[in-house]
Structure 1
């Protein structure tokens, strides 16, 4: 069996699809379906069982077994960067992951978990080292603190533990995330609604729409997770982006080009004032230093936005 927490969410459901594509169906999905819309992410997937996240945690803390578990992919979290209820975020993100780590280590079950590039704050250095980490919100702090909890244990591990610091992920099955969905998702909706894309004006020395992020397609995220499943000798904390920052303008142009190729007559860009509440809290630049993961042996290329955005919009067009 493989356990996927957050398996009805964005990255988790894509990971389930990736496992299914390998012929793996003995999957336990753990999630919180208070928002029942997320079930649509699993409607075309094949899994063995589902368990609520609180019930799963109770069994983990009780030391229960689930039979033979090949690996745990821990994607479940409160991912809202705007959530400031620190007790809630630490319970769901930090304490939960600590309990899962202890359970996995006791049974020598590989654990591959989602960390976040948000641990680096404003940057500008994005390398897996303490001196470059300065989280700016509760979500980032919860991810940062668990990475700190793991680091002293890495040298003595007897089973695989990997933290993946995801950069700006976009792609299928993120529709339930609302305001937290990727800019590619929002651009597609804006083009459908008005034929125009809205971007922020300049900030932090960047021109209008020229703020730059490391945008990575979820298919590349899945590919790395599955590669780690195949390489249990690899442990550590690794960045997971493309290694190349691209501007919001480039994402917008890729979406506009796709829309025009598919019959849209619109395709302009409007620049709106930069929000006051984001000043000093906005990552105007992110770019993953990918040298550690490359050194660990991952050698496949990553999609740029010119490739990944139309691939995503093709999927949206087919699936509604």
Structure 2
């Protein structure tokens, strides 16, 4: 679906984090809808390196890009030589910056800020030199425990990841004051789920994790009180819609990308059981993340509607139903 009246054919598009969840979906969106677009896919593909929490430093996986016909570059956005090469070898029209350390349990504050904050400003300077519109991934983690509905301007991050994304947004505001001739849009993703998230491992959505528990014949395990833990879950196709509409905003700025509706983890388990034809009793376990865990998120999407023309199309039931064939394929090919 072509969400806006822009012809991206013959445009040069940089997508960072391109072997990750949202980045890879963007790559295929442009390839399928604008086959003459020149897509440069930059990713720091995974190695065996881990953070102190035991999770991988990069979740980028080649399987997310199987079938992609554009240019793939393995590189770290912290590497200034890589950025200089991109600046000199290409003339970008759009930059979709999805690369980040996105694991909210990472405690390496220095690397988190360097990767998420400082590298973003370097890319923004490249965008300005190329006169390329910048669309980047911010996060609902900027809100922390702020009351719902979460609204831009009312942030209180409770982990370094949320802090780093808020600092990115602050950089955006400072550059917008300079009266640039490009647009800059930060998209605060809420809880995204859908195809190509599987290789995020333990940080993939509860949708795919619960589904695979069920397909293994196991009861879904939820944190205690999950019927009262509410999140704004948004399907990947709506996130892609938001990115495309952010290419031509009425006004640059920071916008929420959510459905505007809070749903529980219990809802996810129940919908999955219905779709997969199972009827297990849910098991409840203690929540180890109290203090760094959001218990209620619900995006205020009014500004997103007015300035981007964005409105989510998928209810939770619709998104999960659309996702089921891919969940089953992954189970057969990657899990069993």
TM score, norm. by length of structure 2: 0.85
Give the counterpart of 1:235 among 231, 252, 255. 252
1:124 matched to 2:136: no
User: How many aligned residue pairs are there?
Assistant: 306
Give the counterpart of 2:203 among 159, 168, 180. 180
1:200 matched to 2:223: yes
Counterpart-to-counterpart distance in 2, 1:54 and 1:243: 32
What residue in structure 1 maps to residue 61 of structure 2?
38
1:289 matched to 2:300: yes
What residue in structure 2 maps to residue 259 of structure 1?
276
1:56-205 equivalences under 5 Å are 57-61=80-84, 64-125=87-148, 126-129=150-153, 132-155=154-177, 156-202=179-225
Q: Contact 1:120–1:135 (CA<8 Å) still a contact in 2? A: yes
Q: Contact 1:116–1:165 (CA<8 Å) still a contact in 2? A: yes
Structure 1: give runs of 5+ residues left out of the alignment.
Answer: 203-207, 261-265
Distance 1:42 1:86, change over 3 A: same
What residue in structure 2 maps to residue 218 of structure 1?
236
What residue in structure 1 maps to residue 3 of structure 2?
none
Q: Contact 2:245–2:310 (CA<8 Å) still a contact in 1? A: no
Counterpart-to-counterpart distance in 2, 1:171 and 1:290: 21
Provide Cα deviations, 1:185-210, integer angstroms capped at 9, x if missing partner. Answer: 111111012242111112xxxxx433
Structure 2: give runs of 5+ residues left out of the alignment.
Answer: 1-11, 48-58
SS of equivalent to 1:163 = strand
Counterpart-to-counterpart distance in 2, 1:252 and 1:54: 37
Superposed CA RMSD: 2.0
SS of equivalent to 1:114 = strand
TM score, norm. by length of structure 1: 0.89
Distance 1:21 1:284, change over 3 A: same
In terms of fraction of residues, the more helix-rich structure is 1
Counterpart-to-counterpart distance in 1, 2:60 and 2:122: 28
Counterpart-to-counterpart distance in 2, 1:152 and 1:52: 28
1:44-59 equivalences under 5 Å are 44-54=67-77, 57-59=80-82
Provide Cα deviations, 1:147-206, integer angstroms capped at 9, x if missing partner. Answer: 11221332422201110000000001111111100010111111012242111112xxxx
